[in-house]
Amino acid sequence: MGKIAFVFSGQGAQYSGMGKALYDSSPAAKAVFDMADSIREGTSRQCFEGTMEELTQTVNTQPCVFTADLAAARALREAGIVPDCVAGFSLGEIAALAFAGVLSDEEAFKLVCKRGELMDEAAKKNPGAMVAVLKIAPEVVEEVCSGFENTYPVNYNSPAQTVVATTTENAEAFCEAIKEAGGRAKVLPVSGAFHSPFMASAAEGLAEYMEDIFFSDPQITLYSNYTAQPYEGDYKALVRAQVENPVRWQTIVESMRASGVDTVIEVGVGKTLQNLCKRTFDDIEAFKAETPEDIEKLKN
């Protein structure tokens, strides 16, 4: 049997009610939500009852998705399912840091709250848009981007899906250029141009915030969004870098597969990452762990 990877969801799949069933059924999951509420009052309420308008504000999305992700991972481990490695998409990497023991749950939660605040501020200072590009290779997307100012590939998701950050003024013309190149393009409903130079001030603020935080060595192999390789060297620099640089998810999946991973379990919200993993390698077994029923199936 090959290795198991837990992958932690990112921003975009949030919904009202996320995590409630695990909170009600798993002591380990409940402990994560209680921890979040002790630091940021109302986090559980937002997860369980928040409106979509509330949940899509970056300052709320990041702590809420972090909590749902980590709670699901802890519920899985409580059920006896233990991974060989972990990775998280964007804010999901912060939950992976906690699960891997690099930070305590409390420090990781405070970090993701600060990250959300800083990225929200940066988005307001430097308004931008994000465009999902489908059906063409990343190299073609890069070529189209080169024809526009302040336009960057920022999420290398799979062989045929790349997300681009650009200015709001460029978005429509960029979508047309992608269509002319044979692809499909869709402007995403997000509040900023994340993982790009638009986020430089957020990255700088996060680096300052982390100065006095102690980062331990991972207790389990943890993949970096920035390098797409296991964490090594300056951990704080990796956390900072991923805020203003591309998420190399496809390469992370390729790296995990090369290490022997053949089973991926998406912990937390939605099934975006398991689908991306399947699009990269059709022989990977991919599952989600979002509800008690999901976890029961995985146990069997």
β-bridge pairing 85-88 and 129-134: unpaired
Task: Judge if 171 and 294 occupy the same domain.
Answer: no
Helix axes 58-78, 292-299, angle to 10 degrees: 30
Containing domain of residue 178, as a range?
Answer: 129-187
> What dihedral do alpha carbons 11, 16, 22, 28 form, nearest 10°?
60
**pLDDT value, residue 1:** 59
pLDDT at 288: 95
Q: What is the CA radius of gyration of the chain?
A: 18
Residues 182 and 219 in one domain: no
Active site residue 146: no
Shared-domain flag, residues 147 and 291 = no
Query: Which of 187, 206, 230 finishes a domain?
Result: 187
Say how far apart CA 161 and CA 278 lie, in whole Å. Answer: 13
**Would you call 26 a catalytic residue per the annotation?**
no
Of 187, 212, 227, the position where a domain reaches its end is 187
Say whether both 251 and 220 belong to one domain: yes
Q: How many domains in the chain?
A: 2
173 pLDDT above the threshold of 70: yes
Q: Are residues 295 and 200 in the same domain?
A: yes
Q: What is the CATH number of the domain that holds 158?
A: 3.30.70.250
* Confidence tier at 226 by pLDDT (50, 70, 90): very high
17: domain CATH number is 3.40.366.10
Amino acid at 164: V
Which of residues 187, 204, 220 is at a domain's end?
A: 187
Together in a domain, 156 and 95: no
Q: What's the CA gap between 143 and 91, in Å, rounded?
A: 28
Q: Which of 26, 44, 191, 195 is catalytic?
A: 195
**Shared-domain flag, residues 71 and 9:** yes
Interval 20-28 mean pLDDT = 97
Identify whether residues 158 and 218 lie together within a single domain. Answer: no
Q: What is the largest CA-CA distance in the chain?
A: 53
CA distances (Å), origin 63, targets 44, 80, 182, 221: 10, 26, 38, 23
pTM of the model: 0.95
Same domain as 166, residue 39: no
Per DSSP, helices labelled H in the chain are 20-25, 27-39, 43-49, 52-55, 58-78, 92-99, 105-125, 138-145, 171-180, 200-210, 235-244, 249-258, 272-280, 292-299
Stretch 208-226: mean pLDDT, rounded?
97
Q: How many residues are there in the chain? A: 300
Query: Are 60 and 83 found together in one domain?
Result: yes
DSSP-derived secondary structure for 248-285:
-HHHHHHHHHHTTEEEEEEESS-SHHHHHHHHH-TTSE
* Together in a domain, 65 and 101: yes
Catalytic member of 9, 26, 90, 255: 90
- 211 against 56, higher pLDDT: 211
Please say if the pLDDT value at position 294 is more than 90: yes
Residues 21 and 115 in one domain: yes
Q: Does 11 score more than 70 pLDDT?
A: yes
- Note the pLDDT of residue 282: 87
